[in-house]
Amino acid sequence: MSRETYVTESLGDIYERVKTARVLMVGAGGIGCELLKNLVLIGFGEVHLVDLDTIDLSNLNRQFLFGRENIKKSKALVAKDTASKFNPNVNLVAYHANIKDPRFSVAWFQSFDLVFNALDNLDARRYVNRMCLTAEVPLIESGTTGFNGQVQVIVKGKTECYDCNPKEVPKTFPVCTIRTTPSQAIHCIVWAKSYLFSTIFGIDEDESPDLDNSVNADNALEIENLRRENAELQRINDAFGTSEFCRLVFEKVFKIDIDRLLSMEDAWKHRRAPVPILYDELQKIEDAGINKAASKVAADDQPVWSLAENFVVFKDSVEKLSARLVEMRKTAPEGSPRPALSFDKDDDDTLDFVVAAANLRSHVFGIELKSKFEIKQMAGNIIPAIATTNAIIAGVCVLQSFKLLNDDQAHAKAVFLSRRPERIFSTESLQPPNPECAVCSVARCGIEVDVDKLTIGDFVEQVLRDKLGYSDEVSIVTDKLLYDVEFDDNADKTFKELDVGDGTFITIIDEDEPQGSTPRVNLEFLVYAKELTGDGQATYKLTHIPQIPRRPAPKPSEVGAEEVATGEGKSAAKKRKTEDDELVEVNPTDAKKPKVETVDEDVIVLEDDETIEIEE
């Protein structure tokens, strides 16, 4: 019996399309492993797999294509080697690379019949979404969070794209909350990981992505205090590697700094004041032999450690990490950057340090202590991933792909998986594109550019004004503002000087509002960097003249009733909104950026290889 017998009986005529399909899969994590297994066993003709990540110990409980012997190896390459044994008839091509590499061009995307997304971050998801829209290739987007999951089918011009609905952005924590008024365990964990650990053993705290160090009127004093305390810790580092180092660090952060906070009496009128911890008192408990050895305490990650146990683990981890860093410095080549340690949730010493330091600080501020297991989840940004959820969502992805390969988009669905006992699956019909979406509701055009010669000023004059009929009221953006009528500093700079090269997307924003009409929709150029010849001094060539429709007129419901009644203009309404909602004035250039929802201050974003959207 052929291995294709049952698949052929199940799929019927669709199987012929499956056997010849050329598909791309981006991501080889939790969903990716399950999805690749499905694609290979079903017999998709050619599967290309892209993933930049390497295998960690924490992946092995659900990413079954990997084993302990594969730790630190490429996910994509190992997944290919493992899955190829399931079905030698499938052509597997793996890339240990970033999907945003220039070699993965629009033309390369266009070579696929279908793209599957199994990614772990918002930026990469948005990039693949954009590339598939430009290449006009169907995309199946997927993600899981614990027991929840979802699958979204995206077809250019026919369905919502990934960016049609706002996505929450990762959470950063105001430095004043972390350093002065922590109220949750996560605040203490971020302090231990992104401030204390980084200052003692790693990078400068200012470079940490978890802390918002931007200075404003409200936090300028706190930022200055932070920098002073940081400098004091750096001076303590002069004792690095000595027997006194651990005591100096402990007394600095759990006694001296806390006494300094207590001196700000007004801050504690309406909240519980912190209580310093004394090193000598905890040392007496250890000397009396009441405590277990640090290794025994750290080995048990389920219970919440006592204050004395956290003290023992703190001392032990500081000694181990100090010894490790001293050895790294001794063996570092002369002239090389100063060695530093980085936090890794799978490194017992770095994890033990963060657990103990976070719990000691929680004790100081009267916050509930957490177990090592719980802190590992939060410090490592992990939502507990469920292998079964990944398997179910991967299966749904393949079922949706059959409909697309069979040109049966009408029966494709957005599928949601939840833990609700009354209905585990829920589906909804695919929605049309959001006409306000800044990604899919745009006009598109390719442009071949001699990036060494074409300047932004020439581009505006020759392409936008002469060829496409734009007025002066236009802005040009990539991931930053390149030009608008009030910002022409870059007019004489070439594309190359502005880092606009092959594969760059340039968005043209029309800000001209003719009487009785609306501005045009955004125009998105995809740059093809080429050295142009043949037309004398030609520096560019359009792939076609794009049709650029006007934006839809605002609906009557979008006009504020109060504005209609009073006759007040937009400026008054805008001012009123600023006062009511406590919004701050934004820079005009910031207003041109796509809007995304922000996360409530107390919401924590914890990500894993399969995370899409995470709530508190």
Q: Using CA of residue 47, residue 50, residue 54, residue 59, what is the dihedral sign? A: negative
- Residue of higher predicted confidence among 560 and 224: 224
332-355 pLDDT tens trace: 887 777 788 888 888 899 999 999
pLDDT band for position 589 (50/70/90)? very low
Residue 87, pLDDT score: 93
Report the alpha-carbon distance of residue 21 to residue 111 in Å, rounded: 10
pLDDT at residue 335 in the model: 73
Token digits of residue 5: 């017998």
DSSP 475-513: EEESSSEEEBTTB-TTTTSBTGGGT--TT-EEEEEE---
**Residues of the domain holding 500:** 443-542
Does residue 373 sit in the same domain as residue 482? no
Q: Which of 33, 161, 176, 445 is catalytic?
A: 176
**Which of 24-38, 274-288, 490-504, 523-537 is the least confident region?**
523-537
Q: Is 272 exposed, middle or buried (0-12, 13-18, 19+ CB in 10 A)?
A: exposed
Burial grade of 382 (CB within 10 A; 0-12, 13-18, 19 or more): middle
* One domain for residues 249 and 341: yes
CA-closest candidate to residue 138, choices 149, 148, 126, 128: 128
pLDDT band with cut points at 50, 70 and 90 for residue 575: very low
Strand 114-117 versus strand 22-26 pairing type: parallel
Whether 524 and 163 have beta carbons less than 8 Å apart is answered as no
- Location of structure tokens 């990469």: 124
Evaluate whether residue 226 is within a structural domain. yes
Residue 23 sits in the same domain as residue 114: yes
Q: Supply the pLDDT for residue 513.
A: 80
- Each residue of 22-51: pLDDT tens digit? 999 999 999 999 999 999 999 999 999 999
Q: Check whether residue 180 and residue 303 sit in a common domain.
A: yes
Provide the pLDDT for residue 508: 93
Q: What is the mean pLDDT of residues 284-311?
A: 86
Query: What's the CA dihedral at 312, 201, 349, 213 to 10 degrees?
Result: 90
The answer to whether residue 577 sits within a structural domain is: no
Contact 237, 192 (CB under 8 A): no
Residue 34 lies in a domain: yes
257 and 209 part of one domain? yes
Query: Does pLDDT of 572 surpass 90?
Result: no
Q: Is 603 among the domain residues?
A: no
According to the model, what pLDDT value does residue 512 have?
85
DSSP-derived secondary structure letter, 162: T
Whether 584 maps to a domain, the answer reads: no
Cα(80)–Cα(28) distance, integer angstroms: 10
User: 219 with 139, same domain?
Assistant: no
Whether the predicted pLDDT of 145 surpasses 50: yes
CATH number of the domain at 526, please: 3.10.290.20
Out of 414-423, 475-484, 559-568, least confident range: 559-568
390 and 353, same structural domain? no
What is the C-alpha to C-alpha distance for residues 302 and 304, in angstroms, rounded to an integer? 7
Query: Which of 499 and 34 is assigned the larger pLDDT?
Result: 34
- Torsion angle of the four alpha carbons 438, 214, 186, 54, in this order, in degrees rounded to the nearest 10: 60
Mean residue pLDDT of the chain comes to 82
A 10 A CB-CB count for 537 gives 7
Amino acid 137: pLDDT: 96
Exposed/middle/buried for residue 128 (C-beta within 10 Å: 0-12, 13-18, 19+):
buried
Tokens of 59: 């992946």
CA gap 523, 469 in Å, rounded: 12
Residue/partner pairs of 238-245 with CB below 8 Å, 24 or more apart: 240/322, 240/325, 240/326, 241/322, 241/323, 241/326, 245/318, 245/322
pLDDT value, residue 558: 47
| Beta bridge pairs of residue 497 | none
* Tally of domains within the chain: 3
Question: Are 177 and 139 in the same domain?
Answer: no
Percent of the chain whose pLDDT exceeds 70: 81
pLDDT of the residue at 534: 63
DSSP string, 344-386: -TT-HHHHHHHHHHHHHHHHHTTPPP--HHHHHHHHTT-PPP-
CB 365 within 8 A of CB 184: no
For residue 104, give every residue at least 6 positions away whose Cβ sits within 8 Å of its Cβ, in sequence order, or none: 50, 97, 131
Element (H, E) at 144: strand 139-145
Question: What one-character DSSP code corresponds to residue 90?
Answer: S
Greatest CA span in the chain, whole angstroms? 89
pLDDT of res. 384: 66
Q: 456-489 pLDDT, tens per residue?
A: 999 999 999 999 999 988 999 998 899 998 898 9
Are the CB atoms for 388 and 149 separated by under 8 Å? no
DSSP structure string for 286-319: HHTT-SPPHHHHHH--SSPPPHHHHHHHHHHHHH
Report the range of poorest mean pLDDT among 52-56, 123-127, 208-212, 520-524. 208-212
What's the CATH number where 145 sits?
A: 3.40.50.720
Pick from 429, 456, 490: which residue ends a domain? 429
pLDDT reported for residue 605 = 34
Which of the residue ranges 10-19, 366-375, 430-439, 535-544 would you say has the lowest mean pLDDT? 535-544
pLDDT at 228: 64
Residue 226 confidence (pLDDT): 58
Concatenated DSSP letters of 4-19 = THHHHHHHTTHHHHHH
pLDDT in tens, 313-323: 999 999 999 99
Kindly state whether residues 125 and 231 are assigned to the same domain: no
The last residue of a domain, from among 525, 542, 559: 542
The answer to whether 132 is a known catalytic residue is no
At residue 535, the pLDDT reads 59
Same domain, residue pair 450 and 507: yes
Q: Are residues 273 and 360 in the same domain?
A: yes
- Sequence letter at residue 208: S
Q: Write the CA distances from 51 to 76, 86, 176, integer angstroms.
A: 5, 20, 37
Phi, psi of 188, deg, nearest 5: -70, -35
Residue 186 lies in a domain: yes
| pLDDT surpasses 80 at 453 | yes
| Banded pLDDT at 602 (limits 50, 70, 90) | very low
Of 542, 562, 579, the last residue of a domain is 542
Question: Tokens at residue 100, please?
Answer: 């945003």
Q: What is the DSSP secondary-structure string of 394-426?
A: HHHHHHHHHHHHTT-GGG-EEEEE---TT-SEE
Residue 195 lies in a domain: yes
Which two tokens mark 235? 């001076």
Provide the pLDDT confidence category of residue 59 given band limits of 50, 70 and 90: confident
Judgement on whether residues 227 and 243 belong to the same structural domain of the protein = yes
pLDDT greater than 70 at residue 612: no
Q: Band of the pLDDT at 253, cuts 50, 70, 90? A: very high
CATH number at residue 195: 1.10.10.520
Assigned token pair, 415: 């599928």
Rounded to whole angstroms, the Cα distance separating 405 from 397 reads 12
Q: Does 295 fall in a domain?
A: yes
Helix axis angle for 75-83 and 30-42, nearest 10°, is: 30
The secondary element (H helix, E strand) that includes residue 443 is: strand 443-449
